Structure 1
């Protein structure tokens, strides 16, 4: 690694994530790119999350905890304001980063200086680390932003971009649940996004309830439609109001009746991604078993 390699600040909001936080953090510690700072933003957790956050013996990890519950948008803005690196990276407390995630994304941004934020494809996993499929990210800005009224297939936990861009486009607290989509919608006309086709993150999807999905659809609808109306993008607002009810029906049919014909299906996992994931998952379980023997809170669901 070059001595002049840019510093990456990783913002990871934490709220009652005792079952998964250790694995998420261990996947950052295991990165092939070493020049990073991890900000664990504890948002008033009432479980063992804060204790776990403080248990890592890595000087690159900083725990921010004030005992208050402010919400994900406020914590992300706080993390961005504390960022000291050239790049800011997103990570969630229940996901697992592939070992070369930071290295691949930083290398891309360094060689594509006009790109503000880069994301990657994701592998969806459930239960005991079983992969259920892949969701590819579009590669070009045009493909990512071609139909903003349908949402942006630009996965928030995989974002890595210029810190200056994040500071210029802060998250909105009133859009919690759709905070990432509102940032993209409000910024895409003056920004440049790109996607890396390879999978660089394992996205946890253990439980899917219609109530949870419905609340997110409504949050997205309100946030994007409200911004569209205020900015005079009436076509977007109208198309959004047509498409979102259809998506809500599709969610209901899928979660309540098991009918998935109206939903986008996952891509098949390729052998290379499967092999990398299996090794990564074994390492996470091994580290978790070591922590169990030490009497520390577990980071892998049992």
Structure 2
């Protein structure tokens, strides 16, 4: 039996055919991998590559509407197909071997968990290592710190689809922070966790959302922090202060400082 029969990789894509192919080719699993590419109005349209061990479908959006709408449509489509788990990844990122099997095994053993991520190697577009992201792994630690720091790398996530639908699915209300919005809603009724091992090589791309839509992302994050603020939790206030700093300081300076701090922490 295919142990990944109820799992589908969910990848939104806008142009970037070569990145789509490179990302999908990085998966190394012992079972057939289901993939749903949501083509968000690419010109020319994304073409499903022929990759051994993969069953690839493409859902075409009528026009480019942004990652939030693409993910919303993708989750709805996977739910209609009877899938239980959606494994996120973005074009340009690379998966580590057996990532999907490890995450599904964890989800099956922990029914209260609706979202599980993995630690992440952050690399340049040339593949050079920059720094690592090793957020908290246990639900309690994540819940305490989730407004103060990034506790999940979005393209590393595996999501329980029925919980995502019940929570209202992805939405465009908080542009460029659709992942945090969804996770905060999920964790009102469920737990979130990270596996304490690396599952993703995340490509830090200067044309990516975090760079090109930085101000929109920070404003959306700040709105979410204020909406979900726990006034007695000092870490929540620290998160608000950090978002305000992101609004007033240059992106490159903050990125460089973050990289230096993470490198120092990993070498300590």
Q: CA deviation at 1:222?
A: 2.8
Which of 39, 48, 54 in structure 1 is aligned with 2:48?
54
Q: CA deviation at 1:57?
A: 5.3
Q: Gaps (5+ residues) in structure 1?
A: 270-302
Task: Give the equivalent residue in structure 2 for 1:265.
Answer: 262
Q: CA deviation at 1:6?
A: 4.4
Which of 18, 37, 41 in structure 1 is aligned with 2:38?
41
Return closer, same or farther for 1:123/1:56 CA change in 2, 3 Å cut-off: same
**Alpha-carbon separation, structure 1, partners of 2:259 and 2:12:** 32
Task: Give the equivalent residue in structure 1 for 2:148.
Answer: 150
Q: CA deviation at 1:135?
A: 0.7
* Secondary structure, counterpart of 1:22 in structure 2: helix
Q: CA deviation at 1:103?
A: 1.4
Task: Give the equivalent residue in structure 2 for 1:219.
Answer: 220
* Secondary structure, counterpart of 1:103 in structure 2: helix
Q: CA deviation at 1:178?
A: 0.2
Return closer, same or farther for 1:247/1:143 CA change in 2, 3 Å cut-off: farther
Q: CA deviation at 1:127?
A: 3.5
Q: Give deviations 1:149-177, integer Å, cap 9, x for gaps.
A: 32441111111132211211211212120
Aligned residues of 1:122 and 1:202 also touching (Cα < 8 A): yes
**Alpha-carbon separation, structure 2, partners of 1:258 and 1:112:** 35
Q: Give deviations 1:81-119, integer Å, cap 9, x for gaps.
A: 121222111111121111211111112122223322210
Q: TM-score, normalised by structure 1?
A: 0.74
Q: CA deviation at 1:262?
A: 9.9
Task: Give the equivalent residue in structure 2 for 1:184.
Answer: 183
Task: Give the equivalent residue in structure 1 for 2:60.
Answer: 65
Aligned residues of 1:141 and 1:192 also touching (Cα < 8 A): yes
Task: Give the equivalent residue in structure 2 for 1:288.
Answer: none
Moved more, 56-65 or 161-170: 56-65
Q: CA deviation at 1:17?
A: 2.2
* Secondary structure, counterpart of 1:198 in structure 2: strand
**Alpha-carbon separation, structure 2, partners of 1:101 and 1:107:** 10
Task: Give the equivalent residue in structure 2 for 1:297.
Answer: none
Q: CA deviation at 1:258?
A: 8.1
Task: Give the equivalent residue in structure 2 for 1:281.
Answer: none
* Secondary structure, counterpart of 2:26 in structure 1: helix
**Alpha-carbon separation, structure 2, partners of 1:134 and 1:258:** 13
**Alpha-carbon separation, structure 2, partners of 1:194 and 1:64:** 29
The structure in which a higher percent of residues are helix is 1
Count of residues in Structure 1 that have an aligned counterpart in Structure 2: 257
* Secondary structure, counterpart of 1:174 in structure 2: coil
Task: Give the equivalent residue in structure 1 for 2:245.
Answer: 246
Task: Give the equivalent residue in structure 2 for 1:165.
Answer: 163
Q: CA deviation at 1:138?
A: 1.0
